[in-house]
Amino acid sequence: MNKISEAYDHCENLIKHHSKTFYKAFSLLPKDQKKAVWAVYAFCRKVDDLVDEGLRPIEDLQEFESQFESFLDGEFDHNQPMWVALSDVFYHYDMDTQAFKDMIKGQRMDIDEKIYRTVQDLLEYSYHVASTVGLMLLPILAPGKERELREDGIHLGYAMQITNILRDIGEDLERGRLYIPQDLLVKYEYTITDLQSHKNNQAFRQIWEELAQIAESFYEKSFRTMNLYPLYSRTPVKGAALLYRAILKEIRKNQYNVFSQKNYVPRDKKEKIISTIS
């Protein structure tokens, strides 16, 4: 097995371990596109882990940003599978380098523990950490259609990131992070103390539902141009969107408990969702 194949295998193992939903959806792609998606995922995972798991997140992110700039100049560590695989992707596809830079900028927002005052603030964050992923993937999934699909690709990122936030409220609290916009807390008279006390009352559910409806509206917008994707990628992209959207239903079914359990879509439901995509 050559070095590039080994690098792609490394990237596949990362996504298989860390994101079963994305792995399930994008496993439907043809081999070359599938491998390229794994490599992009490995990049996103790496930058995310530096911030969430690293002991020196500010310095580590700065170092990673420098490594990426060197990578764009053709200089990288050939013993690092992620860079090896990503180099092959950049060689074969017309990648959007700004999207990668914006993703790094988004991770810096988490280090700074930014306060989100409005939904618009939250959407700006969601663009940087989630919509950028869609923009990274567009040249792989729909070459030549990037301009037409850009806006709704951004919308899908908004929807998925808000879904993540609504699922991970308890987990984020433990990390000292709060993504719920402050104006919603004020609107429904729900305090940060209530949140830290895991108060799952009517006010909390109203806040949750308002954000969920925003996510739902962006899912709907993202479906408008889904038919522009080539057949080989349409099912995986739509599948990823529907699988993520289904997380919202699971949270409702579990009485909005996002504090003491991880909400996920069971395997049989995933299979059913994928099988109904046309």
Q: Which pLDDT belongs to residue 273?
A: 87
Q: Residue 12 — pLDDT band, cuts 50, 70, 90? A: very high
- Computed over every residue of the chain, the mean pLDDT equals 94
Residues in the chain: 278
Mean pLDDT, residues 129-143: 97
pLDDT tens per residue, range 212-267: 999 999 999 999 999 999 999 998 899 889 999 999 999 999 999 999 888 989 98
Q: Residue 278 — pLDDT band, cuts 50, 70, 90? A: low
C-alpha to C-alpha distances, 179 to 11, 114, 124, 183, 207, nearest whole angstrom: 29, 9, 12, 11, 12
Domain boundaries, the chain: 3-275
Phi/psi for 37 (5° steps) reads: -65, -40
pLDDT tens per residue, range 87-135: 999 999 999 999 999 999 999 998 877 789 999 999 999 999 999 999 9
Mean pLDDT, residues 161-178: 94
pLDDT tens per residue, range 176-208: 899 999 999 999 999 999 999 999 999 999 999
> Any idea which fold 3-275 has?
Farnesyl Diphosphate Synthase (1.10.600)
What is the secondary structure of 204-262 as a DSSP string?
Answer: HHHHHHHHHHHHHHHHHHHHTTGGGS-HHHHHHHHHHHHHHHHHHHHHHHTTT--SSS-
Q: Residue 38 — pLDDT band, cuts 50, 70, 90? A: very high
Q: Which pLDDT belongs to residue 1?
A: 55
